[in-house]
């Protein structure tokens, strides 16, 4: 038995040696090999992000047509007037998004930060010239040939790029009070120009909010932000109290909006009419809504309903269920942006994504707060859904930059 077992073992060993000789040699792992392997893993595509953005755009077009068809038919004799213009802007925005997503490298934007800052300031200044035109009582747009541009939307994108580059160049200096104040003060010229020249308080607040979120993420410590938030909230509360007790609503449109927000029914025939009708739309929708296209409030009861009040029609036609579903899609979008920002290869790319995330988050929160009358009416649109060519193009451009940053993530 022992002899036969030894004979079998002797036969197996030569076979194993023959197999080993035929096996290919293991390649030697070098630094060059590791680098080449890492390069092959680059090119990450966040399909969840793309799916969410396309869903919001398509849903926005559907709701825009449902919301604006009555007013478009009465004003222009074409029920699809707003839909056609928004669809064209959306297609242009998708093209810009694609181009920015395949851009050679997002770090090139760092060298374009100051030109973008100056360019946005120049566009805002042009509103005061003959190129600027007034619509709905506000002079906020530029008419360049057949195209109208809202400079405030360009300024939001430019501020994201500029602040990301500035904080990156300053490195640790932005953490000090001196560096923090310098970064903050660099945003004020654009904020003040938007507020004074275009009289667009909501966009000025959004640009300021984007700057604060980017600085909050880039600098350690919470004390200064708690202090700034406390001072800001106290100042806003004091201003509102002073207006309600010592001002006259006829002195200013903004004063009238604050008085209307404080008592909607007392100003139901004036500035309280639009937000009050929006609340009627939300309440009448119930849990599952009246059905797509079945809104009553859109038939002339809510002025400019396709702009900042479109969420109220979503709730009326699709109910509380539809409203929560839209908010969940925005939550998923912001979550994907956080994931990308957490995995970028450098601070500049991370700050770009954080700036886009801050822009979308602030605008969604403020729009819902306005529609539900939690804050005074400020004319803030709902990203990807409300009517506005400049807004949808710039928002999709920001998503294109995010996709470019995501492509550099290494698996």
Position 34 pLDDT exceeds 70: no
- pLDDT tens for residues 285-294? 999 999 998 9
Tell me the CB-side half-sphere exposure of residue 35, using CA atoms within 13 A.
Answer: 3
Domain boundaries, the chain: 56-407
Q: What is the pLDDT of residue 130?
A: 83
User: What is the spatial distance between Cα 206 and Cα 214, in angstroms, rounded to a whole number?
Assistant: 12
- Angle, CA of 143, 149 and 150, to the nearest 5°: 120
pLDDT band at 305, cuts 50/70/90? confident
Which pair of tokens denotes residue 111?
Answer: 């060298």
Position 29 pLDDT exceeds 80: no
Q: Please compute the mean of the pLDDT values over residues 232-245 and round it to a whole number.
A: 91
Asked whether the beta carbons of 198 and 140 are under 8 A apart, the reply is: yes
- pLDDT tens for residues 60-77? 999 999 999 999 998 888
- pLDDT tens for residues 123-164? 999 998 888 887 766 778 888 777 888 999 999 999 999 999
| CB crowding 76-94: b at 16 or more within 10 Å, else e | eeeebbbbebbbebbebbb
**Which residues partner with 11 through β-bridges?**
none
Distances (CA, A) of 84 to 59, 191, 221, 293, 375: 15, 32, 48, 18, 32
Position 59 pLDDT exceeds 70: yes
User: What is the spatial distance between Cα 204 and Cα 199, in angstroms, rounded to a whole number?
Assistant: 9
Q: Please compute the mean of the pLDDT values over residues 303-318 and round it to a whole number.
A: 91
Provide Rg for the chain, Cα atoms: 28
- pLDDT tens for residues 181-198? 999 999 999 999 999 998
pLDDT band at 354, cuts 50/70/90? very high
Record the pTM: 0.87
Asked whether the beta carbons of 305 and 313 are under 8 A apart, the reply is: yes
Position 347 pLDDT exceeds 50: yes
User: What is the spatial distance between Cα 182 and Cα 173, in angstroms, rounded to a whole number?
Assistant: 10
Which pair of tokens denotes residue 113?
Answer: 């930060």
């Amino acid at each position: 038995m022992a002899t036969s077992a030894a004979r079998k073992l002797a036969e197996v060993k030569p076979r194993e040696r023959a197999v080993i000789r035929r096996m290919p040699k293991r390649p030697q792992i070098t630094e060059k090999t590791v680098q080449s392997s890492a390069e092959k893993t680059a090119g990450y595509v966040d399909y969840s992000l793309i799916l969410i953005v396309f869903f919001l755009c398509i849903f926005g077009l559907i709701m825009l047509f449902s919301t604006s068809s009555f007013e478009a038919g009465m004003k222009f004799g074409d029920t699809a007037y707003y839909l056609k213009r928004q669809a064209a802007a959306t297609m242009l925005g998708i093209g810009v998004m694609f181009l920015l997503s395949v851009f050679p490298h997002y770090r090139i934007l760092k060298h374009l930060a100051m030109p973008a800052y100056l360019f946005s300031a120049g566009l805002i200044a042009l509103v005061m010239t003959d190129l600027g035109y007034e619509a709905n009582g506000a002079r906020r747009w530029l008419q360049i040939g057949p195209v109208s541009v809202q400079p405030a939307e360009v300024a939001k994108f430019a501020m994201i790029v500029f602040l990301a580059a500035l904080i990156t160049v300053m490195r640790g200096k932005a953490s000090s009070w001196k560096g923090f104040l310098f970064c903050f003060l660099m945003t004020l010229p654009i904020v003040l120009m938007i507020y004074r020249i275009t009289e667009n308080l909501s966009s000025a607040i959004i640009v300021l909010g984007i700057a604060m979120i980017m600085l909050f993420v880039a600098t350690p410590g919470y004390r200064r932000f708690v202090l700034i938030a406390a001072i800001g909230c106290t100042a806003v509360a004091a201003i509102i109290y002073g207006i309600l007790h010592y001002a006259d609503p006829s002195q200013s449109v903004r004063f009238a909006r604050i008085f209307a927000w404080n008592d909607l029914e007392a100003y139901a025939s004036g500035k309280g009419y639009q937000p009050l009708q929006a609340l009627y739309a939300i309440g009448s929708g119930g849990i599952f809504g009246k059905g797509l296209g079945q809104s009553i409030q859109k038939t002339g009861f809510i002025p400019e309903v396709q702009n900042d009040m479109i969420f109220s029609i979503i709730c009326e036609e699709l109910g509380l269920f539809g409203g929560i579903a839209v908010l969940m899609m925005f939550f998923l979008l912001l979550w994907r942006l956080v994931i990308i920002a957490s995995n970028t290869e450098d601070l500049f790319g991370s700050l770009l994504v954080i700036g886009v995330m801050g822009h979308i988050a602030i605008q969604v929160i403020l729009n819902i707060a306005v529609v539900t009358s939690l804050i005074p009416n400020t004319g803030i649109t709902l990203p990807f859904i409300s009517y506005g060519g400049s807004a949808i193009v710039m928002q999709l451009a920001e998503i294109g930059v995010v996709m470019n940053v995501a492509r550099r993530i290494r698996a």
